A and B are shown apart, each in its own frame.
Chain A
């Protein structure tokens, strides 16, 4: 993926890039710039004391003790030294005016957990918070989870696997209701209950337990952009090239609201895929190879031994069909809107998920009848486009 050299106006005059945010997106922007042949300076400002790390293991393997902090750290210090990437840690940037002059700024400020107006509730987004929850989990007998979304359910699964008495309180009528179809919600409800997790739907109760963890969504960190007078919607507003209203400033990852061609709408996605692919897109733009961002969205959630993999944007779906038998614990759900395939969720069907990513990318025509028919070869629809 190495391109021609870029990042230098002349032998003695290097370009500079400042990245605000030391999460997965910020790291990847720096790494991708180097991979693209960018030769100028790169500085990452991160708020946390750690080197950039990945967050998915926090609510999964780390709570279970299967993974340690060192597994989450994306690259060792040596990487940043050899790649000439300066990482300034523990530094919160409150205003773009604090930054040194640079040719380009990449905002990868992420999001923060929405908080409840009460004390004694823990939230999981950082390594520090994970360590605290893990420690308290060890001593807890019962655990209350507020929010039946991905994070809440992953923490519930981990706590239950550790033998805790676990109850999930969800304000809506079903689990993961914001993103998946009722058939998927119902499946996960049954699976959690079968493993001894109590689930209370339509609940806005303020539960008591030895440990209370809330996962009730996030708020994009867009204050820097607001303060700088950049356009902001549901997150920092960017165009299809991920440029903010100041073309020298990009925004990527959880903090950025962008026009998503698969959704046909402006969206803000919270995923590793989105952060990583947007980072690479911006690196190419800085190296003079701009292209509209159109990577296929995909997501995953692991709960107990169940692998949920999603691709596309299901928002606004008006029909779903199920491929495979739900009772077999291996099935996929195809989401349609106006007759077009928009998204596919796969449960314990990794191969089908990978095919689905290609179907969504190709805007393939798969009728609901074909999707429901297991004898129909989905791959043939990719080729047909």
Chain B
């Protein structure tokens, strides 16, 4: 299973195996990783699974669809170039080793 590393705004790091096909949000929630809420269950309704994706991982991601783009505008923490909603990133083998950072607020 691909490894995903989650780093909180305080620097706490957790690396977990995420089942292929699950989202990075689901990987966090199911493994009790702090910093990702996922209140709407991955339906692009709440922007509470906002993450900053590390540069090394960015090229492996599919482009964002317009709905994710508009939801990110409503995220609680500032949007950056590498902002994504982690519910929209379905984990594939090439995401193995990816690191995402979680913002201070969701």
Residues of A within 8 A of B (CB): 1, 28, 54, 56-57, 70-76, 78-79, 82, 272-273, 276, 298, 300, 302, 307, 309, 350-351, 354, 357
Contact = CB atoms under 8 A, between A and B. Distances in A.
A350 B41 contact: no
A272 B26 contact: no
Nearest to A70: B30
28 contacts: A1-B105, A56-B40, A56-B41, A56-B43, A70-B30, A71-B41, A71-B42, A72-B41, A73-B30, A76-B30, A78-B32, A82-B32, A272-B39, A272-B40, A276-B39, A298-B45, A300-B43, A302-B43, A307-B67, A350-B44, A350-B66, A350-B67, A350-B70, A351-B67, A351-B69, A351-B70, A351-B73, A354-B74
Nearest to A353: B70
Instruction: Name which of B22, B40, B69, B105 has the most chain A CB atoms within 10 A of its CB.
Output: B40
Contacts of B82: none
B71 A71 contact: no
A76 B45 contact: no
Interface of chain A, helix or strand or loop or mixed? helix
Contacts of A350: 44, 66-67, 70-71
Contact of A76 (B22, B31, B39, B40): B31
Contacts of B67: 307, 350-351
Please name the 10 residue pairs, one residue from A and one from B, whose CB atoms are nearest each other, closest first: A351-B70, A350-B67, A78-B32, A54-B41, A79-B32, A350-B70, A354-B74, A276-B39, A300-B45, A76-B32
Contacts of B30: 70, 73, 76
B32 A57 contact: no
Given A298-B45, A354-B70, A354-B74, A75 B32 contact: yes
A56 B42 CA distance: 10
Nearest to A348: B67
B57 interface: no
B15 to A, nearest CB: 16
B89 interface: no
Interface string B44-72: 11100000000000000000001101110
Contacts of A54: 41
Contact of A354 (B26, B40, B43, B73): B73
Given A56-B41, A272-B40, A309-B45, 17 more contacts: A1-B105, A54-B41, A57-B41, A70-B30, A71-B41, A76-B31, A76-B32, A78-B32, A272-B41, A272-B45, A276-B39, A300-B40, A350-B44, A350-B66, A351-B66, A351-B73, A357-B74
